[in-house]
Chains A and B, each alone.
Chain A
Amino acid sequence: MEFESLYRQHVQAVFRFAMSITRRREIAEDLTSEAFMALHREIDSIDPAQLPAWLLTVVRNRARDLWRHQSIEERYAVDMKPATPPTAPPASGLEEWILEGAGLKPIHRLCVMLRYVSGMTRTEIAVETGISETQVKGHLQYALSLLRKAHGVRQS
């Protein structure tokens, strides 16, 4: 099978996987490019039936290389500090509601966490999650409507 045909057939899946690892489009394109470069080199020895899994493995390995190199930097070093003691109870009713609130789906929880705890803008959340800003706003509005009900008494 020709390289271009394989590229056209699998590039979207590979790019989507790369984006799931790094939300940075230019890095995802780099990872995708490296995977297909590897395919180009090995095309005579690759069974097309192994694709796209073979390409995804290349992406995964390259991403691991990136993490190894990045880990020397402060901003990643601090990333791995010991977490909150696992036995500690939720800090508040709000945290418990975010984690277990009835009616909330995982995507709602994620948007709430990123917006109100991580302090992201809706645009930043859209970039980080790959969903549209309008969808982010919708998820937040829905979550806030549930929050109002749950905490209505306290807020009044």
Chain B
Amino acid sequence: MSQPRDWDAEEREALDGLDGELAEIRRRHQDDPSLETLRAAEADALPPEMKARVTRHLQDSAWSRAIVDGLRETGADDHLDAASEDRLFERITRKAQATPSRAPSRRRWAPTIAIGGLALAATLLIAVVVQRSGPDIAVPPEGASASIGVKPAIVESAPATRVDPPRIAFAKPEVKLSPSALAWRGDAAANPFVRDLAPAIDAYRAGDYPRAVAAFDRLSAVYPEAIEVSFYLGVSRMLAGDDAGAIAPLEVAARLDNQTFADDVAWYLAIAQQRSGHPNARAKLAELCRGQGAHASSACAAVAQLDVPSPR
């Protein structure tokens, strides 16, 4: 960032002799809120505590105010082209049809709900859905609010042509970093691990699981000891529909024995094994149920569901 990468002759000529001043300006503003932060603040899209801090900064910083002023003059041409508009509509309606809607569906399915409402409510309350066929409904992460990172509210699975083993549904875990990754105190862009991890995390957040799997796969060779890599590789594989393939990286993650991730690793490994038909999966879920981990209640619910005779 500190050196011109592609200045043309005109730029070099105009800025000749100003290197020192530019370096000083960069130094003065290196810790200012990012463009992303200022943009979100301008749209009033920051959480209140962050907004308060950015607002205070803006009151004091002519530099950041100038950036915001400039941002206000941008974006007028942003639009979805016709194909993207249609694609997005199709995606929304597909997901909407797969997700129970409120008032309309109550009316449409009133007789069904009258008969099976209690069972359905119980199923939703325990937040684990076991299905013999069709999509698996992903449950929200425990203690977490809605996140746009949780792209697949529905984790699709191929329609079953026979009675398959029950498959425990799961929620997409939030992105977090281990303390060792967070220990970096310099410029995040200069932290090679965070920098290398970012594209994989971005793909994961965006719901592009094949790309996330490929990216985490590559990182696993470079950072074999990084819990973030093995854990999110495993989860990305699950989200991409490769439950069996998720087991190996999650077992690696388990061996790394990172306390920040321990509960999540145990839970997702048990689910991956359960969904792959692993014979010991129920026992592992039962063990989680007996424990004090973050997913204990979900594990108990999963065991209960597994023990209920499946409808034919």
- In the bound complex, do residue A75 and residue B99 qualify as a contact, i.e. CB atoms below 8 Å apart? no
The reply to whether B72 and A106 form a contact with Cβ atoms under 8 Å apart is yes
- Asked whether A109 and B66 contact (CB < 8 A) given A33-B88, A74-B184, A117-B26, the answer is yes
Q: Count contacts on A: residues with CB < 8 A to the other chain.
A: 92
CB-based contact B67/A110 at 8 Å: yes
B15 to chain A, nearest CB (A): 7
Q: Give the residue name and chain of the A residue nearest to B20 (CB).
A: A92
Task: Give the residues in chain A near B185, CB-CB below 8 Å.
Answer: 78
Complex Cα distance, B78 from A128, in Å, reads 11
Question: How many CB-defined contacts (below 8 Å) exist between A and B?
Answer: 266
Q: Determine which of A4, A29, A82, A98 lies in contact with B31 in the assembled complex, contact meaning CB atoms within 8 Å.
A: A82
A21-B39, A37-B99 as given contacts; A16 in contact with B75, CB under 8 Å: yes
Contacts of B16 in A (CB 8 A): 155
Number of B interface residues, CB 8 Å?
99
CB-based contact A40/B92 at 8 Å: yes
Main secondary structure of the interface of A (DSSP, over half): helix
- Which of A69, A131, A155 is the most central at the interface, judged by chain B CB atoms within 10 Å of its CB? A69
Q: In whole Å, how far is A94's beta carbon from the nearest beta carbon of chain B?
A: 4
- The answer, yes or no, to whether B147 is at the interface (CB within 8 Å) is yes
- Indicate if the CB atoms of A80 and B39 lie closer than 8 Å: no
Complex contact B44–A83 (CB within 8 A): no
Determine, out of B160-168, B186-194, B232-240, B302-310, the stretch whose residues face the partner at the interface: B186-194
Residues on A with beta carbons closer than 8 Å to the beta carbon of B181 = 74
> Is residue A72 within 8 Å, beta carbon to beta carbon, of the partner chain?
yes
B2 touches A119 (CB 8 A): yes
Q: 0/1 per residue, A55-80, Cβ < 8 Å to B?
A: 00001101111111111111111111
Contact assessment for A117 and B182 in the assembled complex, using a CB-CB cutoff below 8 Å? no
User: CB-CB < 8 A to B33: which residues of A?
Assistant: 79-80, 83
Indicate with 1 or 0, residue by residue over B87-124, a CB within 8 angstroms of chain A CB atoms: 01101110110010111100000000000000000000
Q: B31 and A83: CB pair below 8 A?
A: yes
Give complex CA distance A49, B174 in Å: 36
Given A11-B88, A88-B28, A117-B26, are A17 and B57 also a contact pair (CB < 8 Å)? no
The answer for the CA separation of A149 and B11 in the assembled complex, in Å, is 14
* A15 CA / B81 CA spacing, docked (Å): 11
The reply to whether B47 and A64 form a contact with Cβ atoms under 8 Å apart is yes
Partner of A110, one of B14, B74, B147, B208: B74
B31 x A95 contact (CB < 8 A): no
Flag if A63 contacts B43 (CB, 8 Å): yes
Q: Which of B10, B101, B148 contacts A27 (CB 8 A)?
A: B148
Q: Is the pair B50, A80 in contact by a Cβ cutoff of 8 Å?
A: yes
Q: Are A72 and B47 in contact (CB under 8 A)?
A: no
- Across-interface contacts of B101 in A (CB, < 8 A): 40-41
Among B36, B93, B188, max chain A CB count under 10 A is at: B36
Query: How far is it, in angstroms, between the C-alpha of A143 and the C-alpha of B168 when the chains are bound?
Result: 60
When each residue 39-76 of chain B gets 1 if its CB lies under 8 Å from chain A and 0 otherwise, what string results? Answer: 11011111100100100010111111011011111111
- Of chain A, the residue at the smallest CB distance from B104 is A44
Q: Does B5 belong to the interface (CB within 8 Å)? A: yes
B57 near A83 with CB under 8 A, answer: yes
> Beta-carbon contacts of A26-46 to B below 8 Å, as 1s and 0s?
111111111011001111110
Interface pairs A-B: 4 shortest CB-CB: A110-B70, A86-B60, A119-B1, A75-B188
* A residues at B contact (CB < 8 Å): 3-4, 7-8, 11-12, 15-17, 19-23, 26-34, 36-37, 40-45, 59-60, 62-84, 86, 88, 91-95, 98-99, 105-107, 109-111, 113-114, 116-119, 121-122, 128-132, 140-141, 144, 147-148, 151, 154-155
